[in-house]
Amino acid sequence: MTEIAPQQHLRERISAHLEVLYPDLEKAALLDDIVGLMALDHRCFMPSAHKNLWDESDTLVITYGDSILREGEWPLHTLHDFLRRELRGLISGVHILPFYPYSSDDGFSVINYVEVNPSLGDWKDINAIARDFDLMADLVINHCSSRSLWFENFKQRRDPGMDYFVEVDPKTDLSEVVRPRTSSLLNEVQTLDGKRHVWCTFSHDQVDLNFQNPKVLLEFVKIIRYYLDMGVKIFRLDAVAFLWKIPGTTSLNLEQTHEAVRLVRTLIEHAVPEAIIITETNIPLRENLAYFGNANEAHLVYNFSLPPLLINTMVSGSCQALKKWMMGMPAAQDGTTYFNFIASHDGIGLRPAEGLLDDADINQMVALMQKSGGRVSWRTLANGDNRPYEINISLFDAMRRHLYPDNENDGEDGFQEQRFVCAHALMLAVQGVPAFYIHSLLATENDENRVLHTSHNRSINRHQWVADDLESQLGTNSHHARIFQTLKDLIALRSAQAAFHPNAAQYPLHLGDEVFGIRRESHSSGAAIVAIYNISAKRQEILLADLNLDETAHWLDILNDDVDVRSQASLVLEPYEYRWLRRCDNVTATQ
């Protein structure tokens, strides 16, 4: 049998994707254009199926390009300096949130996809960061800015852009459309041909692109090629679940959307085999997991259910919902895994908690976060009711209180730091690649002034540090310094444990509601770790017999000088204390 050359394989795969997306289109010219962009003048590779492109040493940081500022210096240069000085050798990658010129939403309303926002720096600064860290960048694929050249051309009825957007007759029944905002779906705009109504899933400044037009697809193939050439390794497909629109449907997670993701996967894996796709789909669990496909869509999916469940666990003192969810989570097959985080630049999404937490639990958590300064963003249901969509709060302040407070301290019990660190130690232990929002690494508080300045709830967790102030804080015994050092130590320790490989098996343990436990075990090496967490404000005693430790092996407490715990009848955990116990068959351990 003749082996198919990579370029021919690419052509055949693209052709199959286009047949699904554009069944009535004569596709030869479009196919030639796409192959020409991705292969003809570049090397083309045959992708490997079910290959893990990550291991236990991988941890990412999520940050804006201007999260740290120094007077007289480009923010991207300041960021790079901080990453090299504080995190080199600890983190493998950095997600720089949209660094393009934009008009709103802190970057997600893109004016020009192939320029760097001149207030941040330029492509040389991006290239420099990409040389030191795996660079994750946003492909803001669902919409662009109303101030983009494409949309200006749409209003002037000229190319490119005249037919790049979704026009809908306002009389069309769009009641089935699912979206995360309360603003009107259609925005009326004046064009040279009169008034038109364009589809805007998120805001009227973010106009949805019309992927039913293959010219829009071709524009994004050009953008993908450019990003690859500029050093982007990880592509975050922003809001991709909303990509394909068909009135009369939910226009969410349509089959054409999944096919478009498969097409993007085909393009990048033939061009750069180490490149990775991650889908940003803030939707209920089952729909989110569908973006793995058959290991032919996203390499990683955001584990959106983890933040609300983990935060609820820490503030309620009960891991019942978290444990139930984890027991039902499918193991990610090789070539795919979860992208774990607790906090992000947005907020604590609540849709992924639907069906996992009941309404009473969600409302109770929302009320608690509001007591700690949090805001709530809402979405409109089909019946016109509003429902909480996300909680906007810094993660550090989200851990300020616990539920069921006494009347004296209103839930503030002095365990804020312990709760905060315990939550991250738990995140580091579960299956997937961990990611830290920079303001979680630094334990940044709510930024009330920024909210007042921008009038946007999400600004509360988008603080901008002055570099000298940050360095001063990290040089003292501040909570910022204490937590930053603790988290760095945990990241370093995790990266040396084969049992924490993102695809290592995981088994939740049954230790009651106030103690969460999980066993991780490597398929390849057999390495095993049992991680246990007191997620309550009370001291807990765990019988070793309940941990089902292999009796013939040593079990070393790697967070406490490798003490062998075998001889102990039980382990005592102080409030929010945690232990990582590593199996070791032949060792001289501390008693």
Sequence-distant (≥ 6) Cβ neighbours of residue 382 within 8 angstroms: 175, 176
Is residue 49 domain-resident? no
The percent of residues in the chain predicted with pLDDT above 90, rounded, is: 89
Domain CATH code at residue 523: 2.60.40.1180
Alpha carbon of 261 to those of 77, 235, 420: distances in Å? Answer: 33, 11, 35
Is residue 515 in a domain? Answer: yes
CA 45 to chain centre: 28
How does DSSP classify residue 487? H
The whole-number pLDDT of residue 3 equals 55
Tens of pLDDT along 299-357?
999 999 999 999 999 999 999 999 999 999 999 999 999 999 999 999 999 988 989 99
Q: What is the mean pLDDT of residues 367-389?
A: 87
Per-residue pLDDT at 506 exceeds 70:
yes
Q: What is the dihedral of CA 325, 307, 477, 84, to 10 degrees?
A: 110
**CB-based contact 325:274 (threshold 8 Å):** no
Angle at 409 between CA 350 and CA 578, to 5 degrees: 60
Residue 17 lies in a domain: no
Which residue ranges are tagged as binding site? 105, 143, 236-238, 345-346, 458
Parallel, antiparallel, or unpaired for β 60-63 and 433-437? parallel
**Percent helix, strand, coil in the chain (nearest 5)?**
35, 20, 45
Looking at the structure, do residues 269 and 309 belong to the same domain, yes or no? yes
Domain annotation covers residue 52? no
In a domain, 376, yes or no: yes
Q: Are residues 548 and 525 in the same domain?
A: yes
Alpha helices in 50-105 (DSSP H): 75-87
**pLDDT (0 to 100) of residue 379:** 79
Inter-CA distances, 17 with 36, 168, 355, Å: 16, 26, 34
Q: b/e for 94-103, b at 16 or more Cβ within 10 A?
A: bbbbbbbbbe
Query: What is the per-residue pLDDT for 590?
Result: 46
Phi and psi torsions of 419, nearest 5°: -60, -45
311 and 231 share a domain? yes
Would you call 480 exposed, middle or buried from its count of C-beta atoms within 10 A (0-12, 13-18, 19+)? buried
Binding residues for substrate: 105, 143, 236-238, 345-346, 458
**CATH code of the domain covering residue 194:** 3.90.400.10
The CATH code of the domain that includes 316 is: 3.20.20.80
**Residues 549, 527 share a domain:** yes
Q: How far is residue 316's CA from residue 309's CA, in Å, rounded to a whole number?
A: 10
What's the mean pLDDT when you consider all of the chain? 95
**Enclosing domain of residue 164:** 144-208
Query: Residue 410: is its pLDDT beyond 90?
Result: no
> Of the candidates 433, 464, 499, which is a domain's last residue?
499
pLDDT at 181: 83
Calculate the CA dihedral of residues 104, 110, 115, 116 and round it to 10 degrees: 40
Cα–Cα dist 150/219, whole Å: 11
Q: What is the pLDDT of residue 4?
A: 74
Whether residues 480 and 512 share a domain: the answer is: no
Same domain, 460 and 374: yes
Instruction: Summarize the confidence of residues 251-255 as an average pLDDT.
Output: 98
Q: Are strands 528-534 and 540-543 parallel, antiparallel or unpaired?
A: unpaired
- pLDDT above 80: residue 586: no
Joined together, the tokens standing for residue 83 give 């990453």
- Average pLDDT, integer, range 393-421: 87
What is the value of pTM for the model shown? 0.96
Q: How many domains does the chain have?
A: 3
pLDDT for position 407: 52
**What span, in angstroms and rounded, lies between the C-alpha atoms of 351 and 390?**
8
Number of neighbours of residue 214 by Cβ within 10 angstroms: 17
The answer to whether residues 512 and 408 belong to one domain is no
Contact criterion met (CB below 8 Å) for 372 and 398:
yes
**Shared domain check, 349 and 319:** yes
- Catalytic pick among 58, 205, 208, 238: 238
Considering the domain boundaries, does residue 521 fall inside one?
yes
Q: How confident is the model at residue 411 (pLDDT cuts 50, 70, 90)?
A: confident
Q: Is residue 20 in a domain?
A: no
- Whether 120 and 269 map to the same domain: the answer is yes
Asked whether residue 458 falls in the same domain as residue 317, the answer is yes
- Averaged over 359-384, what is the pLDDT? 89
Render 248-305 in DSSP notation, one character per residue.
TS--SS-HHHHHHHHHHHHHHHHH-TT-EEEE---S-HHHHHGGGTTTTS-SEEE-TT
Q: Are residues 398 and 265 in the same domain?
A: yes
pLDDT in tens, 184-234: 999 999 999 999 999 999 999 999 999 999 999 999 999 999 999 999 999
pLDDT confidence bin for 496, thresholds 50/70/90? very high
What letter represents residue 96's amino acid? I
Confidence at residue 591, expressed as pLDDT on a 0 to 100 scale: 39
Tens digit of each residue's pLDDT (9 = 90 or more) over 12-42: 999 999 999 999 999 999 999 999 999 867 7
What band does 1 get if pLDDT is binned at 50, 70 and 90? very low
Q: Which of 389, 365, 261 is nearest to 311 (CA)?
A: 365
Where does residue 165 fall: left (phi above 0), alpha (psi -120 to 50 degrees), or beta otherwise? beta
The pair phi, psi for residue 27, each rounded to 5°, is: -100, 0
Question: Whole-angstrom Cα distance, residue 454 to residue 203?
Answer: 16
21 found inside a domain: no
Name the β-bridge partners of 94. Answer: 61, 135
Domain boundary at 192, 208, 224, which?
208
pLDDT value of residue 381:
74
Among 182, 208, 234, identify where a domain stops.
Answer: 208
Domain identity same for 284 and 375: yes
Kindly tell me if the per-residue pLDDT of 589 is higher than 60: no
Tell me if 72 sits within 8 A of 84, measured CB to CB. no
Residue 574 in this model has a pLDDT that exceeds 60:
yes
Rounded to an integer, what distance in angstroms lies between the CA atom of residue 6 and that of residue 266? 11
Residue 238 catalytic? Answer: yes
Check if the beta carbon of residue 279 is closer than 8 Å to that of residue 301: yes
